[in-house]
Chains A and B, each alone.
Chain A
Amino acid sequence: MLQQSPQLVLAGLTVGAGYALVALGIHIILRATRVINFAQGEFVIVGGLLAYTCVTVLHANVWLALAGATLAGFALGLFYERAVLRPAARGGELTATIATIGTVYVLLYGHALIWGSLPQPLPFFSGGERDAKWVIGGVEVAAQQVWVLALLALALLATYLFFDRTTYGKAIRAAANNPLGARLVGIDVDRARAVSVAIAVALAAYGGSIIGPITLVGGAAGVAIGIKGFVGAIVGGLESPVGCAAGGLLVGVIEKLLEGQFGYGVADPVVYSLLLAMLLVRPQGLFGVRGVARD
């Protein structure tokens, strides 16, 4: 166990990258619309499958596929906000929650209709049938793992810069914090919400495309990715973007360590129990501020 643990931590960070992007997306949508999007995990799978189609049908290289899937995710997010989230949010929180659960069904079984129910492999980003591997300090590091972590860092940085450094990003945050005030200063709040949701879905699609070569994409995996992403958001703090990203990575590491020690069947229920435990003990999360988590 102890000798394995650096290896498991690395594996955990790799799957955790997917959870981190899901958690961040949930955070962005929650902040913009006050709705928790249960379908975020399915968007990861749909994104990965879109990248798969770019590669196999359009014969694009992996980088174009990654860009294509991310853009397609953005468009899908715009549609999703307009067709589902916006009308559902008018009916109140329960209605919106139920509508996002309905979306899980549509996406989960919908992508099986298009791509089949078996998970599909994405090509490695470094090219080749087999991924390059190095042994560093006794830990075997695959090139794709390095790609995943680097591309995760890139996405997090881009998200941060957009929301914190650009005028439009700040306008979106203003619209989320105080819709009425934002309207008064001329911000199109509906559009800001739509763009927020689109960014969140694009992040999910991007996540599916970068972890796809390792985890394969498709099947019923989206449900677990979505819930573990939410666990990450709760662990880190649903109201804190940094917390969401860190929480997602942490959940990935915890999951892999548990799997290494007790096997696959035990890890999942324990991770889900972590959700209940966190909600009970520290609902604002590790990075959150008390008093804001339970509005």
Chain B
Amino acid sequence: MSRRIADDARFLPLLAAGAILFGIFAARDATLLQAGTYAAIYGIAAIGLSVLLGNVAQISIGQAGFFGIGAYSLGFLTASVTWPAAVPPWMQYALGTLAAVALATLLGLILGFIALRFRGHYLAMATLAFGLICVGVFRESKALGGASGITGIPFPQFGGLAISGRASFWFVWLVVAAVALLTLNLLRGRTGRAFEAIRNDELAAETVGVPTRRYKIFAFAFAGALAGLAGSLYASYLGLVDPSAVGVSLSIDLLLMVVLGGAGGVSGALLGATLVAIANIYGHDLENWRPVIYGVLVIVVVIAFPGGLAGLLRSGRRSRTTVLPLPDAAAPLPARAPRAVTDSWLRVEDASKRFGGLLAVDGVSFGLATGTLTSLIGPNGAGKTTLFNAICGVGRVTSGRIFIADREVTDWRPHAIAALGVGRSFQNARLFADMTVLENVIAGAFPLEHAGFASDLLGLPQSRRSERFARERAADVLRLLGLERLAGTLARDLAFGDRRRIELARAVASDPGLLLVDEPAAGLNASERSRLREDLLALKAAGKTLLLIEHDMRLVMEISDRVMVLRFGKLIADGTPEAVRNDPHVISAYLGTAS
């Protein structure tokens, strides 16, 4: 569990105590109690947006659309529809809530699917358009009451009991408690680790095997579901809903709550929602100034205090010493299902990659024998990294085919290729900067884990087992490479050479059959270089197939079983280091007269 989420969890009992005290002391003050009730209702929607914005780094300014869908679904089903007498009111309420959440989730999935195509500001605009379309539909729909909306929505019903007045406060905060627990479960689990990886570096997340699209869609659906739930609570608490209550300004208010409180997790969202709800009720004297102040606050907080209120309360994240979990001899790690035994981890058939007028890779074909170390060399711009990208799915080939472990993966996405057993390091070491070394390597074990959304959300034992497994696996890898002392260091604090080695550790954590290593020796000093040499040979001895891009000729000649030379996208030589060293083409094209 990452520190950020641990802090969040630690904060929850305080928030719960705060809510209970608030409920007791505000019991006689109807206005204050109302503010507290709104805080809970908006807080639920804010939690969803907080996860989206703070944990997955996706923005939405259309959350009011989902809120409206929830409110209108419940309103329509409990106030506009005439139910047969056999259906008791509590069942109508339950069905209405269920429909509200289900419909909001479904639209969240759809919006998430659309949103995948965009980043940053495009995403913001697309979600804004979604929110506006929702309001337009509510306003134009006669069945939903047009501009005057739906009135006469009954209070929540349980058995013969209608929940109104003071009871509403306790009821909505109970729902908040449930939502907070589910959200924390989710963030603690494999899903939360995937979110964290996506937030840090989407491409790196994809290459360690995180299906980033699926997780992003899920995050949108989750945020949509919570906004829908909040909307349904709003409609039944107030007894009515109209288009003006679910317009763009609500979307921006929700954004304000999250930014003010601190995006990411639960506590910031609830703090922000409480502050705004109280300000909304007590700010009447400032009626016209209030939104201006809100706007200024958003700008100031997002620029000067990006962690929001929760970020100010919690200590900044720093590197620290982490004691690695010792392997539990009594309960051996579940062994990974043995990979398909193949004598050909990688086969490239006539691969070409064109960028506009430039043919970066030109009809390259080769295969790698299992358990060998092959180096790919060539002058800068020869197409080496382009070829790597094509193999691991980051940049598809223009023509030709690529097989990994005898399966064609030419059109696969990087995460699926990673899950087949391909690990990769980048030329510029793309670590997850805000995560510790241990967390980075745990993320590398992602494909070996089994927990899914549902077991994470409900905090099932499978979710915990999965985390324990990944943690022990990561600890093993760090021990194997002699990197234990760095476990608690934040990746962004690492020295350059260490960064390289941690990236290798992360790639190894998924127990890959094939490792693609891009210029590992660049910028290393002599001792780091000799350690790298040992690491690579140890990996080969462990049966991995390695493909290395490297400019350090001495290293290449020392450790390679085979050397391939790429020049202007074409393979011009391929053989033992000895043969390539003496190849006249290579000498003239690449090595020059030296060596």
- A residues contacting B by CB (< 8 A) are 35-36, 38, 84, 87-88, 91, 93-95, 97-99, 101-110, 112-113, 223, 227, 230-231, 234, 265-266, 268-269, 272-273, 275-276, 279-280, 283, 294
Contacts and interface: CB of A to CB of B under 8 A. Distances in A.
B122 interface: yes
B129 interface: yes
Contacts of B53: 94
B57 interface: yes
A36 B59 CA distance: 13
Given A266-B140, A279-B126, A101 B255 contact: yes
A97 B139 CA distance: 28
Interface of B: 53, 57, 59, 61, 114, 117-122, 124-126, 128-130, 132-133, 136-137, 139-140, 248, 252, 255-256, 259, 288-292, 294-299, 302-303, 306
Contacts of B128: 227
Given A98-B59, A113-B288, A103 B299 contact: yes
A272 B289 CA distance: 30
A99 B136 CA distance: 26
Given A36-B124, A91-B302, A102-B302, A283 B294 contact: no
A172 to B, nearest CB: 21
Contacts of A104: 252, 295
Given A105-B295, A294-B119, A95 B302 contact: yes
Contact of A101 (B61, B133, B140, B297): B61
Nearest to A112: B288
16 contacts: A88-B302, A93-B120, A94-B59, A102-B299, A103-B299, A104-B295, A106-B292, A106-B295, A108-B291, A110-B292, A113-B289, A234-B125, A265-B136, A269-B132, A269-B137, A280-B114
A93 to B, nearest CB: 4
B298 A101 contact: yes
A294 B118 contact: yes
A124 B63 CA distance: 41
Contact of B129 (A84, A98, A266, A272): A272
B306 A95 contact: yes
Given A104-B252, A106-B295, A227-B129, A97 B288 contact: no
A12 to B, nearest CB: 19
Contact of A279 (B118, B252, B303): B118
- Looking at B57, B130, B296, B302, the one whose CB has the most chain A CB atoms below 10 A away is B302
B302 A269 contact: no
Interface of A is mostly: helix
A93 B53 CA distance: 12
Nearest to A98: B302
Nearest to B297: A102
Given A87-B303, A95-B306, A101-B61, A269 B120 contact: no
| Most chain B CB atoms below 10 A, which of A95, A269, A273 | A269
Contacts of B296: 102, 106
A275 B129 contact: yes
Contacts of A95: 302-303, 306
A99 B129 contact: no
Given A91-B306, A99-B302, 9 more contacts: A35-B121, A93-B119, A98-B59, A105-B294, A109-B291, A109-B292, A227-B125, A265-B140, A269-B140
A3 B137 CA distance: 29
Nearest to B288: A113
Interface centre among A38, A103, A279, A283 (most CB of B within 10 A): A279
B57, B137, B299 pick with most chain A CB within 10 angstroms: B299
B122 to A, nearest CB: 7
B62 to A, nearest CB: 10
Given A266-B140, A276-B114, A280-B117, A105 B132 contact: no
Nearest to B141: A265
A96 to B, nearest CB: 8
- Residue among B114, B121, B259 facing the most chain A CB atoms (10 A cut-off): B121
Given A35-B121, A109-B291, A113-B292, A99 B299 contact: yes
B172 to A, nearest CB: 27
A93 B121 CA distance: 7
B288 A102 contact: no
A91 B118 contact: no
A41 B292 CA distance: 17
B291 A268 contact: no
Contacts of A101: 61, 124, 252, 255, 298
B133 A272 contact: yes
Contacts of A103: 295, 299
A87 B301 CA distance: 12
A275 B288 CA distance: 32
B59 to A, nearest CB: 6
A98 B117 contact: no
Contacts of A266: 136, 140
A282 to B, nearest CB: 12
A103 B124 CA distance: 15
Contacts of B121: 35-36, 93, 97
A97 B297 CA distance: 15
Contacts of B59: 94, 97-98
A152 B121 CA distance: 27
Nearest to B296: A106
A137 B130 CA distance: 40
A104 B121 CA distance: 15
Given A36-B125, A223-B248, A269-B132, A94 B120 contact: yes
B37 to A, nearest CB: 25
A279 B117 contact: yes
A36 to B, nearest CB: 4
Nearest to B130: A276
A35 B120 CA distance: 9
A269 B53 CA distance: 26
A104 B296 CA distance: 10
Nearest to A102: B298
Contacts of A107: 295
Q: Give the 4 A-B residue pairs with the shortest CB-CB distance, closest first.
A: A105-B295, A269-B136, A102-B298, A36-B121
A105 B292 CA distance: 6
A105 B298 contact: yes
B136 A230 contact: no
Given A113-B288, A275-B126, A97 B120 contact: yes
A269 B65 CA distance: 13
A106 B256 CA distance: 13
A88 B137 contact: no
Choose among B129, B133, B139, B291 the residue with the greatest number of A CB atoms under 10 Å from its CB. B129
Contacts of B124: 36, 38, 97, 101
Nearest to A36: B121
Contacts of A113: 288-289, 292
> Which of B59, B125, B136, B139 has most A Cβ within 10 Å?
B125
B433 to A, nearest CB: 12
Nearest to A276: B129
A294 B118 CA distance: 7
Contact of A98 (B114, B140, B255, B292): B255
Contacts of B137: 269
B336 to A, nearest CB: 37
Contacts of A230: 125
A227 to B, nearest CB: 7
Given A223-B248, A280-B117, A94 B57 contact: yes
B386 to A, nearest CB: 16
